[in-house]
Amino acid sequence: KSDKKDGLEHLQRILLSEILGEKNISLTSTQQGISIIQSRLKGKKVLLILDDVNTHGQLQAIGRRDWFGPGSKIIITTRDEQLLAYHEVNETYEMKELNQKDALQLLTWNAFKKEKADPTYVEVLHRVIAYASGLPLALEVISSHLVGKSI
């Protein structure tokens, strides 16, 4: 089996396990996972958050809104707008990058756990902000690696 296929089956098992409250769900294939999701979750109202989706197969394996009960919501984060169009996503929201001031504040709070950073770090922090292009998640990930580190 390929890692990609194992990954999709793993996601399907997590989805089914979390929603149904069952442990040790066994799947022989991604297609079987799709069938079980469609049949067992049809009447369930779910909030499903799919983060950093980058392939068509991920959305195919995990679900469409009509696989779940009325009132269900699926939130998808991706950089690929074509994926959203192909899967007929009806509402989109484009995240804007943080401005320099807000990016610096987020980075400082996450890296140093305080409002203001030591002035000797300012140049490095501005380089990090430029590197992360003001994207909040990128800033949080990078700042988590800066905690307790020297310049």
d(CA 48, CA 62): 9
pTM metric for this prediction:
0.67
The residue from 63, 87, 111 where one domain ends is 87
pLDDT in tens, 41-95: 998 999 999 888 999 999 999 988 889 999 999 999 888 989 998 888 888 988 7
Structural domain includes residue 125 = yes
Structural domain includes residue 78 = yes
pLDDT in tens, 122-145: 888 999 999 998 888 889 889 888
Structural domain includes residue 151 = no
d(CA 54, CA 5): 14
Whether 57 contacts 80, CB under 8 Å: no
